[in-house]
Structure 1
Amino acid sequence: MTPSDELAAVRYIVDDVAAAVDFYTTHLGFSLRTNPAPAFADVVRGPLRLLLSGPASSGARATPDDSNAPGRNRIHLTVNDLDTEIDRLRTAGLSFRSDVITGPGGRQILLTDPAGNLIELFEPAPR
């Protein structure tokens, strides 16, 4: 069991490790933690460690096909001003996978990284 004071880690399979590192560090405020080879890197933002596994990494080995899997998993990043973030990222040439959705907890939009992995940008509702 991982100690509770360690970073929470999520693995994303990516086509191009360098492009993924550039995306997360340039646009979403992550810092490069390690990049031991072109096959793998990890970036950190707060308590989240994002493991970026390229085609040559052991983490990218085939997993069982499960047609019942929802395929909507994503990392969730809280932002203070969703509209400002959307404008900033569009100006940088990024595109979104969804429109803004408003619900009882706040507003959100889905962005994709260069490999198609989802990132939810979420602005909590005022309390």
Structure 2
Amino acid sequence: MITPGQYASVRYLVDDVPAAIDFYTTHLGFTLNTNPGSAFADVIRGPLRLLLSGPASSGARATPQDAATAGRNRIHLEVDDLDAEVDRLRDAGLTFRSEVVAGPGGRQILLADPADNLIELFQPAAP
């Protein structure tokens, strides 16, 4: 269980830390926590602390070359109105990696950040 002041942290490797900060704070409701330089920053949304590690960061340097590309893993962000979010983000010129898909638990779409890391926007099914 996450208590106040405690976060679950996920590291994303990014090509451009300032561009990643702008993407997550402008479009997805994150707030900047720290930005000690161009190699690293972290942004927060609720209990999620997203570590944005640029090529010069120690986190990126510790990654083996064959594991350095973005994979199928993604962060999962719940939204109240998926259609409105998709429209808002498309109007802002952002790139989606899938179409909206529906299942028994709800509807979702995959969005790519500037480094092609995936973000799943998810609207739960009505109870």
Report the TM-score when normalising by structure 2. 0.91
2:64 counterpart letter in structure 1: T
Alignment partner, residue 76 of structure 2? 76
Residue correspondence of structure 1 range 45-64 to structure 2 within 5 A? 45-61=45-61, 62-63=63-64
Structure 2 distance, partners of 1:16, 1:45, is 20
Structure 1 distance, partners of 2:2, 2:14, is 27
Structure 2 distance, partners of 1:115, 1:108, is 20
Report the TM-score when normalising by structure 1. 0.91
2:66 counterpart letter in structure 1: D
**Share of identical aligned residues, percent?**
74
Structure 2 distance, partners of 1:45, 1:20, is 14
2:54 counterpart letter in structure 1: G
Alignment partner, residue 115 of structure 2? 115
Structure 2 distance, partners of 1:49, 1:113, is 16
Cα displacement string for residues 43-75 of structure 1 (whole angstroms, at most 9, x for unaligned residues): 000000000000000000132636xxxx31000
Alignment partner, residue 13 of structure 1? 13
Alignment partner, residue 27 of structure 1? 27
What is the CA distance between 1:4 and its match in structure 2? Answer: 4.0
Runs of 4+ with deviation above 2 angstroms: 62-66
Unaligned runs of 5+ in 1: none
Alignment partner, residue 91 of structure 2? 91
Unaligned runs of 5+ in 2: none
Q: Partner of 2:66: helix, strand, or coil?
A: coil
Cα displacement string for residues 72-126 of structure 1 (whole angstroms, at most 9, x for unaligned residues): 1000000000000000000001120000010000000000000000000000000
How many corresponding residue pairs? 122
RMSD of aligned residue pairs (Cα, Å): 1.6
